[in-house]
Amino acid sequence: MPAGHDHPPEAPCPVSCPAWGEGALGLLAIQQRHAEMLAACRAAARIESVVVTPGTPGVLLPDYLGEEEAVRLNLVAGRDAPEVLLDEWGIRANLTFRGKRFDCALPWASVYGGVLVPPPRPRPRFAVIEGGKKD
């Protein structure tokens, strides 16, 4: 199991896990738990990037990336892509390569890592505790 996870390898990687942001996708990819990869991406505040294998059947990337062993794609919706579509099949996004937009398709089987930004944690609410002497 990748270092930093605080749960057994067969257990789900919860958002509270210290390695969730950088390790959840990789851990789930190794175990081919694609439904949980989808759930992790949906739970994230944003998907920073994914690492994919371009040679996997169903992957659509620019032709010049086809011979690469691995490609890191930045996927921040609103910054790198107008939108990122997630479903049971995989990830779809319109990304820029060499100054040109390209409709990318990434089945879950091609994703073997990435960086997810955890959702913001709610801040605990504190009440005022009265102290001192009362007259």
Domain ranges across the chain: 20-117
Q: Which CATH architecture has domain 20-117?
A: Roll (2.30)
- Could you report the per-residue pLDDT of 35-70, keeping only the tens digit for each? 888 888 888 888 999 999 999 999 999 999 988 999
DSSP type of residue 115: E
pTM of the model: 0.73
At 63-117, the pLDDT tens digits run 999 889 999 999 888 888 889 999 999 999 999 999 999 999 999 999 988 888 8
Output the six-digit token pair for 19.
């390695």
Cα 11 to Cα 8, 25, 33, 60, 128: the distances in Å are: 5, 14, 11, 32, 39
Residue 2: band (very low, low, confident or very high) from pLDDT cuts 50, 70, 90? very low
Please enumerate, as own/partner, the contacts of 67-75 that have beta carbons within 8 Å and a separation of 24 or more: 70/112, 73/49, 73/104, 73/106, 74/48, 74/49, 75/47, 75/48, 75/49, 75/50
